[in-house]
Amino acid sequence: MSKSTPSTATVVGSGPNGLAAALVLARAGVEVTVVEAEATAGGGLRSSTDDHGVRHDHCATTFPLAQASPFFREFGSALAGHGLEFATAPVDAVHVLDATRSASLLTSVADTAAGLPGKDGRLWHASFGPLADRADQVTDEFLRPILHLPRHPLLFAGFGVQAGLPASWSWRRFRSPEARALLAGIMAHAFTPLHLPGSSAAGTMLTVAGHAHGWPVAVGGSQSVADAMLAELTALGGSVVTGERITDLSQVTDADAVLLDTSVEDAARILGDRVPDRIARTWRRFRRGPAVAKVDYTVEGGIPWSSPDARRAATVHLGGTADRVAAAEKDCWQGRLPRRPFTLVGQPWLADPSRTVTHGGRQLNPVWAYAHVPAGWTGTAQETFDLVTSQIEDAAPGFRDHVVDWSASDPAGVQATGRNNTGGDISGGANDLVQLLARPRLLRPYDTGVPGVYLCSSSTAPGGGVHFMCGMKAADRCCPGAGDGR
């Protein structure tokens, strides 16, 4: 290993970041092999079909950041050539406060603003309109390690100030409970206490990207994203081996370079004593965030939401007012199961009607839902089902009667679905201010200290979510100039 420009590379893991790294390297002329532990490639992009013929997404189901990503600007048309399509629902996301109040995020900033009470509409427009107009430049600057020379210094500073605020300061600019709750729900995607500095970062990015590209689903399910990436990899001469778990670097020493789309914990195990002490110490200090408890439902018809907008939204946020969302997120962070955990519900068929299946004369749909829970929370399948279902039932009385089938995963089950989701943390590591800046290290975040071996999973900058940029930036570090060269 350790040539400055590799001729061959092995990527361990085929999640969106592993596949992005593989594509970037293959396009630069490197001979790439991807080695995946699971039987099916795709990591967090996998979907599978249940006994009723309904297709469920194992992990990611909505893609607010995918099309906004610099990676997608490079590879989007190639992936579209392999059949990848995104689709949005009439409402991108809705936050349900209670039986009578909700607030909606729409792709159009103006339409979102028009739905907010009083002066909050104008304030929403002023807060997000200018950033949404420059969404590509925002993602250019922020979907990468924070420590870099900005191309757009004023934008960098402006967005940086907004993203660096505690989320609770961001939503207190608004007067109405609706606007506050909408923003709090989006910011809760960070899985951090919402009074901490930096807790606005993920939500501000999701809002800006949403106003540029919507919060779409992949037509046919998330596996379509992986399948298009795999088809492009094959077209570029790369190959994939599935069903092979790498436990030691000696299994992959044939290649000039190795990129690990693994958790930090797995990378430490695979590399063992080869990792220099200074890096091993930083990795040991790397912290995990709270977890999720997930339920996949097969439902007949739709969900009987009280909120009309929720009946048209691909994503529904449940958690009540901004303050209640904040209290629930703080509970999770501190290891307590909240009475009403923040819960997300995906209704992909409202964006992609091909997800509806007619079975035995019934119209069946896949509902994807998870609640934020403390790391280490354990629950039986029935307890997990009850926890998530009661949140939905509160906002959609009678929901249980629509459920035809379900399967539930507590945090240990979520880790069993994807081995990078250590302890049920789906973000690749906690998103506190320190780890927003140093992920997993401030300088050279993709280096492992072992010559020719790089980390490329969501435990590296810029972190969790399907945006492909951990993979693209690690590939760029491994093969200078192969990515965007910055």
Contact set with ligand FAD (CB under 6 A): 12-18, 35-38, 43-44, 59-63, 65, 245-246, 261-262, 266, 292, 294, 370, 414, 418-421, 426, 428, 457-458, 464-466, 470
Least distance between ligand FAD and beta carbon 481 (Å): 22
Amino acid at 415: Q
**3-state SS of the chain: helix, strand, coil percent to 5?**
40, 15, 40
Least distance between ligand FAD and beta carbon 100 (Å): 28
- Residue 209 to residue 245: CA distance in whole angstroms: 35
- Residue 407 to residue 55: CA distance in whole angstroms: 13
- Residue 389 to residue 402: CA distance in whole angstroms: 11
- Residue 329 to residue 372: CA distance in whole angstroms: 8
Least distance between ligand FAD and beta carbon 292 (Å): 6
Least distance between ligand FAD and beta carbon 40 (Å): 8
- Output 116 or 461, the one with its CB closest to ligand FAD: 461
- Output 93 or 236, the one with its CB closest to ligand FAD: 93
The two three-digit tokens of residue 395, written as one number: 């906002």
Kindly report the three-state secondary structure assignment for every residue of 256-305: CEEEECCCHHHHHHHHHHHCCHHHHHHHHHCCCCCEEEEEEEEEECCCCC
- Output 35 or 392, the one with its CB closest to ligand FAD: 35
* Helices marked H in 143-255: 153-164, 167-172, 177-187, 201-213, 223-235
- Residue 280 to residue 36: CA distance in whole angstroms: 24
Least distance between ligand FAD and beta carbon 347 (Å): 12
Least distance between ligand FAD and beta carbon 63 (Å): 6
- Output 96 or 469, the one with its CB closest to ligand FAD: 469
Strands 313-318 and 343-346: antiparallel
- Output 125 or 372, the one with its CB closest to ligand FAD: 372
Least distance between ligand FAD and beta carbon 264 (Å): 11
- Output 121 or 483, the one with its CB closest to ligand FAD: 483
- Output 156 or 377, the one with its CB closest to ligand FAD: 377
Query: Angle CA(106)–CA(109)–CA(112) in degrees, nearest 5?
Result: 50
- Output 95 or 180, the one with its CB closest to ligand FAD: 95
- Output 15 or 121, the one with its CB closest to ligand FAD: 15
CA 185 vs. chain centroid, Å, equals 15
CB atoms within 10 A of CB 73: 14
Amino acid at 473: K
Residue 144: strand, helix, or coil: coil
- Output 32 or 116, the one with its CB closest to ligand FAD: 32
Least distance between ligand FAD and beta carbon 22 (Å): 11
- The residue assigned the tokens 């955990």 is 341
Residue 133: strand, helix, or coil: helix
Least distance between ligand FAD and beta carbon 114 (Å): 26
Least distance between ligand FAD and beta carbon 82 (Å): 19
Taking CA atoms, 295 is separated from 116, 215, 299, 305, 458, in Å, by 31, 21, 12, 18, 23
Paired residues of 147 in beta bridges: none
